[in-house]
Structures are given as structure tokens and as C-alpha cells.
Chain A
């Protein structure tokens, strides 16, 4: 089974190279997706070290960067994709855990870490989970595996308007009948202190509002 590891990157390249080098020890095929980072100079570093990459001229969003990776993987005939955050939060061992489940035939594999996050965050996530009726508990996790058939579905119409690789994606995937499984993994604290999706409190609020609207509109 040929698996491609996707690493979406947006302005976090100082931490990127060690992460990639750690990954390379376990995976031969790695694709970095530059989601329109302002400083493009790191791409040449990637090239020097022999890493493959896609690059956007402007920022599209985390999920859309992953979709571009899907398109590439589909074109090149990979059987599955594992998404891996470039900020040092995920461990290559976690990514290794995803692969057997993809081989088993699951469409979407989510690596979760229950120890993550503060209490208020956990309560919030739990509430969203209840509202959406999602089977997966850790829906913000960026460590995921997708099968080829899942990728074919996930690059189509409705999935293009999503911004984050989170609840929305899983919610719609569940509705489409893709098989999903949650796998416990260990994650470390991210090296960069700021979260990519939630840099400020306003972004958290806007995320909550968007997600709530999403749930109420699309609920079965």
C-alpha cells in the first residue's frame, strides 16, 4: 500500500525541517503543501533537502491545502494519505499507527489525544460533539488518514467551501457513509506557542459561530 504523508504549512517553517526529518525516517513519500506563506524562501530549503512540495500563491486555508494534496495523491495513484501538522505537535509514531487502519479498509482514521486541551475547551468540544451527533470525539485533530475512495469524495463540491479540517469534514463524511475510526495517539505540545486555527479569542468565537451554524444547517 502506497501512502503519502501530507504536511500543510502556513508560516511555520522554522519548526518544519526537524519535523520533516523525523517523518522521513518512517515514510518515504512526504508532500509539503505551502498554504500561501508570506515568506517563500523556505521552499528552496525544502528543495535542497529533497522534500516535495506544492505551493499556493495566496492563503486558502488548512483544509484546502490538504485537498490540493489529495488531488496530487489521486493523480499519482497513492492508496492513502496521512495528514500531519508541521508544527511539531504530532509524532511520526502516531502517523505510523494510522497506516494499518487504512489498510484494513477504513475510509477516515482520526488520531486522537484525550489529554490535550484545557477544561473549558474540552467542555466546548463535548457540546459541539453532542449537537452534531458525530461518532468521532477528537474532531479537531489534524493527524488523520484518508483512503483513496475518501479522497475522491472529499475534493468535491460541498467540501470545497469548508475552511478547517475538523468537525465539518467529519460531519459530512459521516453523512456520506464513509467508515471512520478513532485511534488513540500521543501528541506533544506544539513547538510554536500559537495555534494555527485559533491564534486569537475572536477566531475562536468566529469558529464556534461558523461551526454551530454549520451543524444547525446540515443536521440530518
Chain B
């Protein structure tokens, strides 16, 4: 039987490598990668020295050390999830504004094109020898 430290270290390293590969391939943006790297590194450290959890649990008065681990994990995931929700809301607002502006700009371009077509000297060619002034709205 291998010591449990080896198991936790291997799990930690695998998680770290997955995060590292995702960042390398550009699947995760650098600004998000930072948080994930921090998580990956702490997983490796905790895997190498699981005693830390026991020590901290003893210091904080938690009698069952794994409970502390779960509490921290849930906390971290909750914060990350919240952050994602904020990010999604922000993006939705941005998309809406962009789409509204795009629709309006499309319309204005269309209108410009229409007034352009009604000017015969423009559609005929580049010859500007007969400049014609059309009233702009």
C-alpha cells in the first residue's frame, strides 16, 4: 500500500497540469488563469503536506479536519461561481447595447445609401463636374 501523501500529491499535480494545459492552449484567459493557478498551486501544496489541514483545523478549533477542507473548497467555488454570474450579467448588458447600436447604425447606413441613390451624379460615376447639392435631413 502506498502512503496517502503520494495519492494526494498525484491528484494535486494532475489538477495543476490540467489548469496549466488549458491556459497554454488559450482556453482560459490569462486574467482568469491567475485565480486558477492559485487554486492549482494550493492543491499541490495541500497534496504534498496534508498535515497543514490538520494543523489549521486544530488552530481554528475544528475537531474534524476534512470539514475544514470542504468548507474552504465550497467557499472558493462559491466565490468563483458568483464572479461568473456577474461576468455573465455584464456581458449580457454589453451585448444588448452593442446590438441596439448595430441595428440603429444599419438603419442609418441604409438611409444614407437611399439618399445617395437619389443623387444621379453619384450613381453615374466619379465625375463630379456637375456638383449637385441635395438637402440633408
Which residues of chain B from 100 to 137 have a CB within 8 Å of any chain A CB?
100-101, 103-104, 106-108, 137
Give the shortest distance, in Å, between B63 (CB) and chain A (any CB): 39
Cβ–Cβ < 8 Å partners of B97 in chain A: 160
**A to B contact number (C-beta, < 8 Å):** 42
Say whether A60 faces chain B, with CB atoms less than 8 Å apart. Answer: yes
Give the shortest distance, in Å, between B70 (CB) and chain A (any CB): 30
* B101 touching A71, Cβ below 8 Å: yes
CA distance A52 to B96 in the complex (A): 21
Say whether A198 faces chain B, with CB atoms less than 8 Å apart. Answer: no
* A64 touching B100, Cβ below 8 Å: yes
Say whether A117 faces chain B, with CB atoms less than 8 Å apart. Answer: no
* B100 touching A68, Cβ below 8 Å: yes
Cβ–Cβ < 8 Å partners of B100 in chain A: 60, 64, 67-68, 71, 155
Give the shortest distance, in Å, between A34 (CB) and chain B (any CB): 9
Q: Which of A33, A56, A67, A161 is within 8 Å of B92, CB to CB?
A: A161
Q: Which of B99, B100, B101 has the most CB of A within 10 A?
A: B100
Interface size class of B (residues with CB under 8 A): 10 to 19
CA distance A64 to B104 in the complex (A): 12
* B104 touching A56, Cβ below 8 Å: no
Which residues of chain A from 66 to 88 have a CB within 8 Å of any chain B CB?
67-68, 71-72, 75-76
CA distance A123 to B78 in the complex (A): 39
* B99 touching A161, Cβ below 8 Å: no
* B99 touching A55, Cβ below 8 Å: no
Say whether B93 faces chain A, with CB atoms less than 8 Å apart. Answer: yes
* B99 touching A57, Cβ below 8 Å: yes
Q: Which of A52, A56, A155, A157 is within 8 Å of B103, CB to CB?
A: A56
Q: Which of B96, B103, B104, B108 is within 8 Å of A160, CB to CB?
A: B96
CA distance A52 to B104 in the complex (A): 11
Cβ–Cβ < 8 Å partners of A161 in chain B: 89, 92-93
Chain A residue nearest in CB terms to B95: A60
Cβ–Cβ < 8 Å partners of A60 in chain B: 96, 99-100
Q: Which of B96, B99, B107 is within 8 Å of A72, CB to CB?
A: B107
Give the shortest distance, in Å, between B89 (CB) and chain A (any CB): 7
Q: Which of A54, A155, A157, A160 is within 8 Å of B107, CB to CB?
A: A54
Cβ–Cβ < 8 Å partners of A53 in chain B: 107
Cβ–Cβ < 8 Å partners of A68 in chain B: 99-100, 103-104
* B99 touching A56, Cβ below 8 Å: yes
* A54 touching B106, Cβ below 8 Å: yes
Q: Which of B92, B104, B106 has the most CB of A within 10 A?
A: B104
**Could you give 20 example pairs across A and B, Cβ below 8 Å?**
A33-B103, A54-B103, A55-B103, A56-B103, A60-B99, A64-B99, A67-B96, A67-B100, A68-B100, A68-B103, A68-B104, A71-B101, A71-B104, A72-B104, A72-B107, A160-B93, A160-B97, A161-B89, A161-B92, A161-B93
Apart from A71-B101, A72-B104, what 5 extra A-B contacts exist at CB < 8 Å? A52-B107, A54-B104, A68-B99, A76-B137, A161-B93
